[in-house]
Structure 1
Amino acid sequence: MTTQNLLVELFVEELPPKALKKLGDAFATGLFEQLKAQGLTSGDTVVTPYASPRRLAAHISHIWLKADDKPVQIKLMPVAVGLNAEGQPTPALIKKLTALGADLDLHDPAAVLAALQRAVDGKAEVLFYNSVVTGATLDVGLQKALDEAIAKLPIPKVMTYQLETDCALPGWSSVHFVRPAHGLVALHGAAVVPVKTLGLTAGRTTQGHRFEAAQPVLELAHADVYADTLRTQGAVIASFAERKAEIARQLAAAAAQVGNGCRPIEDDALLDEVTALVERPNVLVCQFEAEFLEVPQECLILTMKANQKYFPLLDAHGKLTNQFLVVSNISPADASAVIGGNERVVRPRLADAKFFFDQDRKKTLESRIPGLAKVVYHNKLGTQGQRAERVRAIAHGIVQQWSLATVPFTLDDKDHFDVLDSKVQQAALLAKTDLLTDMVGEFPELQGIMGGYYARHEGLRDGVAIAIEDHYKPRFAGDALPRNHTGTVLALADKLETLIGLFGIGQLPTGDKDPFALRRHALGVIRILTENQLPLELPALLGVAVDAFGDLIEPPTHTVLDFMLDRLAVSLREQGYSAQEVDAVLALRPTRMSDVAQRLAAVRAFAALPEAPALAAANKRVGNILKKADAEVEPFVNVDLLQEAAEAALSAALLHVAPEADAALARGDYTANLKALAALKAPVDAFFDQVMVNAPDPVLKANRLGLLAKLHLAMNRVADLSRLAA
């Protein structure tokens, strides 16, 4: 018996474009996994998913017509339960075998005993029944796989529709699926596999492009001709990946044809969505009136992308041009009607954007401040106006913290921080006012960006305008940080206000649900502090934010700090640091995010030393000893009580190493701090080999515990080295 390739296709009405790729991959993967679980695949099986606006399909190679039979051993029960004193089957055993459908004459004790096997399992002797499971046939196995794959599809919203029943009694049946399904293909090689789903029976016919297929119905002679038949006769590129690559190629070619270094805007999500909207793409160049370019390009780009699924063209300097690319689903000989239609459709959208922009500029941002008092931010946290006041208070506190951390502090520094505070206060009050503009009302994604434009139009200081524009940054992973100090402070204040406020009213993220993007806000604070190397203490910043809320919330400082350190741990592991390295550094709960990277580098350098494993293990042992002490141990040693040579040597080594390590720590050289500890390996090893810590004499024991506490303190200034122990 040889394998054949399998083709399964569901032909449906237009699928939701944003979900198409995920649906296609899930359909193919679900079929494969179920067929594999039933033994119908081989080691050479390859899965190829297909997904177009009107079809989900999968080509799965090397599928058996029937799976091999499999011997199985079934555990029954202890011998003492299954056999009586005479060694004969008990009623309990017969009942169990009956339930299993054992192919035995259960009335013949000799036949039953011959089919059983006795073996020791744990402490008891147990009876096992050896049987053979007949391998699944493809028609049964594919039916099960198809049912499972459809049931597990990540459908964003299920539709219910009616099908006329095919039974003797007239009537209608309800079907639940993402879109109404109209065809099912299931081919194993050239043979149809008789499976059914969604009220459909499998055949070998499908349909091509709605308008450009060579014929309305396409007959598939073999599973392997699916993609070629659709391409040549159906005018459809069935593969999502191939269609996406073809669109990207045509976009680049069309931009090159326009010239002047033009390029289509890069947006993978838009490319995926357009790929899910067309079956045979045809990219066309369109244009709009140049006068619309007076509107901020972010507005024009967003309306073209979000509303029309167009690809705006940027020039060599990244500036928007008045040309754009359309991905059409038809390829007429004369495309002028398609081009003209798209140009007519986009014009009102751009006119709306220009109208919003012109109207918004008739009112200043400052004049909109009172209106924030009428916009509810959260029913437990008040209005956007109250929020703006809290952000302003937090921003002022951040500037104060920054000035206090600047050492040495000069008069020039004072002037700088006074000016910074003035800019931050102004920006904080104006930052949310663009929420009241028509443009942001139409395109919420432009909040902050439009505030920056309107601030510059009013002639506000450029630092303030940039801060208003940047205070949401970083908006997502990999996004740029605020570009100036004013924006940096305002972004920190805005994110801290969100974190403290929502944690303070119990709105914590749960599982995958994070409706207020608190994880993103936490990582944003960490990135700003870390990448800007700001000399600010995170607990102090959280305290400033808590103070801004007064009695409105319960202070959640420690909870938020734990949450942020957890997010930092995840981020560091994603950056390539090992779990041990991250745990070692974060175990000390560092308060200054700007030096976490240096601590990690120091831990990595220390771990590479030959002395590291022994010192890490010793540090873990010391920590355990100190935890078991009757009371908290002070790091103090009375040298007159050092009786053993090994403890005296360790004390002397500490007196020599500790000042060197502390000096390195004071100048921020964490690597030198940890490397200095390498000199302690020999005296630490000798101490544990030759000295009894829990001496009978309580005074001697206390002194030795004090020596270990002093060692523990010296070794764990940069990181908890015990976390590096195997």
Structure 2
Amino acid sequence: PDASAYVARLGDAKVLVDPAARRARMIEALEAEAKRIGGKVVPDEFLVDECMALVELPHAIAGAFNPEFLNLPESVVIAVMRNHQRYFAVRNAAGALMPAYLNVVNTANAPQVIAQGNDRVLRARLKDAQFFVGEDRKVRLEDRVPNLDRVVYQAKLGTVGARVRRLAALVQALGAGEEAKLAAEAATLAKADLVSYIVGEFPELQGEMGRFYALEQGVAPRVADAIRDHYLPKGAGDAVPTDAVGALVAVADRADALVGCFGIGLVPTGSADPFALRRAAIGLARIALEGPLDVDVKQTFGAAYDQFDGVALRPKDDVLAQLDEFVRARLRAFYGEAFPGDLVEACLGAWDGASLRDLDARIRAVAKFREMPAYASLSVAFKRAFNIAKDAPVGEADPKLFADDAEKMLGERFAGVRSVIETAVAAGDYESALVAVANELREPIDKFFETVFVMVDDEKVRENRLRLLGTIARTLTSIARFDQLSA
């Protein structure tokens, strides 16, 4: 047989070989069937990919369930359909969940018979979920917290109960006032739903069900939201906590995991990261940059380490140093998706490893600086200044020893703009600092290198010129390592 006819012959046998075509047909069938029953499919890319791989020629069949099950939390209904049956949920025009579902099948024969069988199975699954939620409602979240002492988090790091106590103490160390108080309450309850029936059945509902039960039991809405939101972001496409209470618990949760695991030597390798520590580090960055709180990495990790009372961790300085390297590596990858690698490296070289927003401000300011007309000549001059000044003697240049007009001009212009640069840097306004650099130093530093020979025989003049370049280099290094930037 002719191999070129392979796809066509399988098509005649009702097998759609091309995955992209099969996927497109399935989505079209789902949308058409949802429209027929007056709704829209709830998007679920994972389920689309899973079903696409299970069928050969996709068809969609609608089914229904008793509306009484809509009294369950929406996330539970969707989880039952998705996880147990691989059914798609449907919403009406108002966005409310409908008592209906869509099933992807291989054949359109006898759809009513298929739907009746599906309805019967789904009804039993929803009944189970209804029972689990009913049983869970009999126990308040705070009464579940002691049970967390029977759940092991990690053999050397203790139980989830011990971890919850660390989180409650950590948010109070990191926060202040009412927000810290609410965050401590949220941290105490954050993992309580892990020992509920429904989360035992559907682990992906952790946090979501904690919030649901908390609201039912009269917990403050900000605390309830934090129970759910402290897991955010779960992945690259997820939102971050928008409220400071949830953000504070989310930061503490990730810091505890990172410090604890690094403290016992459980460091991610190329093939293994069982505690998702890489994702935790990026989560900290995203919470700081997209959420309501900045994250001081040094302070956060230091405070997190201090909560591990009675746990045998490696020395604090060693753990924090290793975490600093790890976070920098993750930030290189994170920023490397949007900015040139040399720019990111130059800013990391000047960053003190504390505020994540500070690093972000440096990177964005240097990126804008790189677009300025003055950048090309300044970058060359800065590199020369950095290279020459590597072995510069300590101290300030003496204006009385300036022997050349060009060095006098550079010394005067730098003296005039230095306080402007330092004030802007102290305020984290790196963009203004670099605008001042471009406006005031471009001409004098170009002329200096055109007309002045630094390494003259006169020792005093030579060392004075080195001190001038060294002071300029140190001032610029407070923004970025410009010697690491390409032209």
**Alignment TM class, shorter chain as reference:** over 0.9
Tell me the distance in 2 between the aligned counterparts of 1:231 and 1:605.
Answer: 55
Tell me the distance in 1 between the aligned counterparts of 2:94 and 2:159.
Answer: 41
- Within a 5 Å distance, the mapping from 1:68-467 to structure 2 comes to 204=1, 222-232=2-12, 234-259=13-38, 262-332=39-109, 334-400=110-176, 417=177, 419-467=178-226
Shift of 1:506: 1.1
- Equivalent residue letter for 2:31: A
Do the aligned residues in 2 keep the contact of 1:532 with 1:594 (CA within 8 Å)? Answer: no
- Within a 5 Å distance, the mapping from 1:586-601 to structure 2 comes to 586-590=348-352, 591-601=354-364
Do the aligned residues in 1 keep the contact of 2:390 with 2:470 (CA within 8 Å)? Answer: no
Do the aligned residues in 2 keep the contact of 1:310 with 1:324 (CA within 8 Å)? Answer: yes
Do the aligned residues in 2 keep the contact of 1:661 with 1:673 (CA within 8 Å)? Answer: yes
Q: 2:228 aligns with which of 469, 476, 484?
A: 469
Tell me the distance in 2 between the aligned counterparts of 1:668 and 1:507.
Answer: 35
Q: Secondary structure at the match of 1:324?
A: strand
TM-score by length of 2: 0.94
Deviations 1:301-348 (A, max 9, x none): 11211121111112234432210001121221x322111111111111
Shift of 1:541: 1.5
Tell me the distance in 1 between the aligned counterparts of 2:57 and 2:447.
Answer: 77
Q: 1:706 aligns with which of 464, 467, 471?
A: 467
Tell me the distance in 2 between the aligned counterparts of 1:683 and 1:390.
Answer: 56
Tell which has more relative contact order, 1 or 2 (C-alpha 8 A, sep 6+): 2
Do the aligned residues in 2 keep the contact of 1:635 with 1:713 (CA within 8 Å)? Answer: no
* Paired position in structure 1 for 2:437: 677
Q: Does 1:582 align with 2:344?
A: yes
Deviations 1:56-82 (A, max 9, x none): xxxxxxxxxxxxxxxxxxxxxxxxxxx
* Paired position in structure 2 for 1:517: 276
* Paired position in structure 1 for 2:396: 636
* Paired position in structure 2 for 1:89: none
Shift of 1:551: 5.9
CA spacing shift, 1:667–1:376, aligned 2, 3 Å: closer
In terms of fraction of residues, the more helix-rich structure is: 2
TM-score by length of 1: 0.64
Do the aligned residues in 2 keep the contact of 1:635 with 1:708 (CA within 8 Å)? Answer: no
Quick check: 561-570 or 443-452, which moved more? 561-570
Do the aligned residues in 1 keep the contact of 2:193 with 2:206 (CA within 8 Å)? Answer: yes
Q: 2:477 aligns with which of 694, 712, 716?
A: 716
Q: Does 1:478 align with 2:254?
A: no
Tell me the distance in 1 between the aligned counterparts of 2:458 and 2:480.
Answer: 33
Shift of 1:535: 4.4
Shift of 1:248: 0.4
In terms of fraction of residues, the more strand-rich structure is: 1
Deviations 1:431-489 (A, max 9, x none): 11111111111111111111111111111111111111111111111201113221111
Tell me the distance in 2 between the aligned counterparts of 1:315 and 1:585.
Answer: 50
- Equivalent residue letter for 1:437: S
Tell me the distance in 1 between the aligned counterparts of 2:203 and 2:66.
Answer: 25
Q: 1:500 aligns with which of 259, 276, 296?
A: 259
Q: Secondary structure at the match of 1:549?
A: coil
Shift of 1:623: 2.3
Q: Does 1:546 align with 2:323?
A: no
Do the aligned residues in 2 keep the contact of 1:613 with 1:725 (CA within 8 Å)? Answer: no
Tell me the distance in 1 between the aligned counterparts of 2:197 and 2:108.
Answer: 38
Tell me the distance in 2 between the aligned counterparts of 1:571 and 1:315.
Answer: 39
Shift of 1:350: 0.9
Tell me the distance in 2 between the aligned counterparts of 1:275 and 1:526.
Answer: 35
CA spacing shift, 1:635–1:478, aligned 2, 3 Å: farther
- Equivalent residue letter for 2:382: N
* Paired position in structure 2 for 1:177: none
Q: Secondary structure at the match of 1:477?
A: coil
Tell me the distance in 1 between the aligned counterparts of 2:72 and 2:420.
Answer: 62
Tell me the distance in 2 between the aligned counterparts of 1:398 and 1:438.
Answer: 33
Tell me the distance in 2 between the aligned counterparts of 1:699 and 1:385.
Answer: 67
Tell me the distance in 2 between the aligned counterparts of 1:353 and 1:327.
Answer: 23
- Equivalent residue letter for 1:227: V
Tell me the distance in 2 between the aligned counterparts of 1:492 and 1:384.
Answer: 17
Tell me the distance in 2 between the aligned counterparts of 1:682 and 1:482.
Answer: 47
- Equivalent residue letter for 1:721: F
- Equivalent residue letter for 1:634: V
Quick check: 508-517 or 487-496, which moved more? 508-517
Alignment root-mean-square deviation, CA: 1.9
Quick check: 443-452 or 545-554, which moved more? 545-554
Structure of higher CA gyration radius: 1
Tell me the distance in 2 between the aligned counterparts of 1:721 and 1:442.
Answer: 55
Shift of 1:645: 2.8
- Equivalent residue letter for 1:252: E
Tell me the distance in 1 between the aligned counterparts of 2:112 and 2:372.
Answer: 71
Do the aligned residues in 2 keep the contact of 1:297 with 1:320 (CA within 8 Å)? Answer: yes
CA spacing shift, 1:231–1:363, aligned 2, 3 Å: same
Tell me the distance in 1 between the aligned counterparts of 2:30 and 2:250.
Answer: 37
CA spacing shift, 1:535–1:529, aligned 2, 3 Å: closer
Shift of 1:646: 2.6
- Equivalent residue letter for 2:464: N
Q: Secondary structure at the match of 1:587?
A: helix
Q: Does 1:645 align with 2:405?
A: yes
Tell me the distance in 2 between the aligned counterparts of 1:509 and 1:223.
Answer: 46
Q: Secondary structure at the match of 2:98?
A: strand
Tell me the distance in 1 between the aligned counterparts of 2:420 and 2:25.
Answer: 64
Tell me the distance in 2 between the aligned counterparts of 1:598 and 1:448.
Answer: 33
Determine what percentage of the aligned residue pairs are the same residue. 37
- Equivalent residue letter for 1:361: R
Tell me the distance in 1 between the aligned counterparts of 2:195 and 2:227.
Answer: 14
- Equivalent residue letter for 1:453: F
